[in-house]
Amino acid sequence: MTEMEFQQQAILTIFLKWAAEHGVSDSPSSYVSSSCLGHSLCISNFPEAGGRGLAAVRELKKGELILRVPKSALMTSDSVLDKDHEIAHAFNLHRKLSSTQVLTVCLLAEMNKGRRSAWYPYLMQLPRSCDILASFGPFETKALQVEDAIWVTEKVISKADSDWREAIILLKHLELKPQLVTFKAWLWASAMISTRTLHVPWDSAGCLCPVGDFFNYAAPGDELAATGISSNVLDDAEDPFVDTENSDCSSRLIDGGYEEDLAAYCFYAKKNYRLGEQVLLSYGTYTNLELLEHYGFLLNRNPNDKVIIPLENDIFACHSWPADSLYIQHDGKPSFALLSALRLWKTPQNQRKLVGYLALSGLQLSTENETIVMKWLVSNGQAILRNLPSTIEDDQSLLGAIDKAQQIQSFEKPKTLPSAAAMEFCKFLECMETCYGASEVVLAPSLKVKRSIERWKLAVQWRLRYKQTLLDCISYCSHTIASLSPENGTNCRTIQDQILP
């Protein structure tokens, strides 16, 4: 164990003891031990599924209470202001901030206190960096390649800067240490709020939940998706399940939520877990870009991911589907609404009223119509891929080079990469050398360079999944076209053939 790992373990041990003293427990017993874990859960490392997380120390049953965190241990705006009247007075002079800005300032104010903070052991074990979109620099933003993704990132960065500027007067009024008034500190604190807060009914900003934020993420509808890239992040659990298998837990929420009768945040097993298995939480349906924006990670297999493709204006004029329902699903299949809209769009205008209800029902209108729609999707997908700066093969090679460079901690210019990938690698090195100096990039890169590399890697991973989804769509549509071919014995007369002359 390295000295840094030893220090981190010592900090973690102190934190778990502090949590136990404040009533955090994974046991139904009220007995206070030197650690809050050990009866149901333990901290473990899952390199391929989120790094540090929580593992089952015994067999857990679906719906079983596995962790509770008392309200007194939660960090909320109210709990901070109730404990510090000087901070509360300062906030009364600056009432225009949003609830999220208020909690962000509260977090920075508690960090400023150091050991005097009631949450000091918790604050010390928080990560010191997080790669949400707001932390992306110009190079990493451009590396996303897709215009919509770049626009979203630039918007998020601008919003973070605006929030900081609105709060800076209050930060200075509180006389925080200079390093805690900077935009860099604001980005860190807002990232902690974005990635780690849980929903509470009395504050829209949510709360920071000691120990509860160790759970890693499982995408709703496909918990196995969490075997991709994940992170130690947590937010409110949407659409909690009700256990129908265990009558003793039938009224319990599965995942988690604040319970007034227990005055605690309670977490329940969302399924049966085996000994040693990672215990996961589902906290909402997000696309990979949304996961990057709010939590700083993405999934290799995300059942909620989607690709929005450019559509001509007259497509929107022939139907009433919301624009955000017209997309390519994570598996490459066009969404129900997109197929419906395209089928109507490719129907002669004087016939749309006659067959509109059929399209809205999700039915094929004719073999010819379906073939035209599929060919349009293939052509559109191919055009999008052609117009992007790199191919799927380029991105795969680039990710391999980034992984290798991270492993050997050396970022020399690669010699065997495809031209587009090699060019991007060289541009990254040039950008880092401009920002931090050549000595910090190639050999023994600094922490700043390492963080930039990680964000760049996330951008490449995101665009690779985007391109793969488009390729899957092209493959799906091509197979559909082939199956509609008369030589395959397909019945060419469908509903519209029978209705229209």
Could you state, in order of their start, the residue ranges of all structural domains in the chain? 3-73+210-295, 77-208, 306-501
pLDDT band per the 50, 70, 90 thresholds, residue 230: very low
Which token pair is 351? 């016939």
pLDDT value, residue 274: 95
DSSP letter assigned to residue 443? B
pLDDT value, residue 371: 93
Q: Tell me the three-class secondary structure of 122-180, residue by residue.
A: HHHCCCCCCCCHHHCCHHHHHHCCCHHHHHHHHHHHHHHHHHHHHHHHHHHHCCCCHHH
pTM of the model: 0.85
Residues in the chain, overall count: 501
Poorest-pLDDT segment among 81-85, 226-230, 258-262: 226-230
pLDDT digits (tens, 9 = 90+) for 314-349: 888 777 788 888 999 999 999 999 998 898 888 887
Work out the average pLDDT over 74-80: 95
DSSP letter assigned to residue 100? H
Which token pair is 345? 């769009």
> Which position has the higher pLDDT, 437 or 470?
470
Which token pair is 171? 């930060």
pLDDT band per the 50, 70, 90 thresholds, residue 247: very low
pLDDT value, residue 227: 37
Mean pLDDT rounded to a whole number for the chain: 84
- β-pair type (328-329, 306-307): antiparallel
In sequence order, which ranges of 285-391 are alpha helices (DSSP H)?
A: 288-295, 313-316, 336-345, 352-360, 367-387
pLDDT digits (tens, 9 = 90+) for 380-392: 999 999 999 999 9
User: For a pLDDT cut of 70, what percent of the chain falls above it?
Assistant: 86
- At the topology level, CATH places domain 306-501 in set domain protein methyltransferase, domain 2 (3.90.1420)
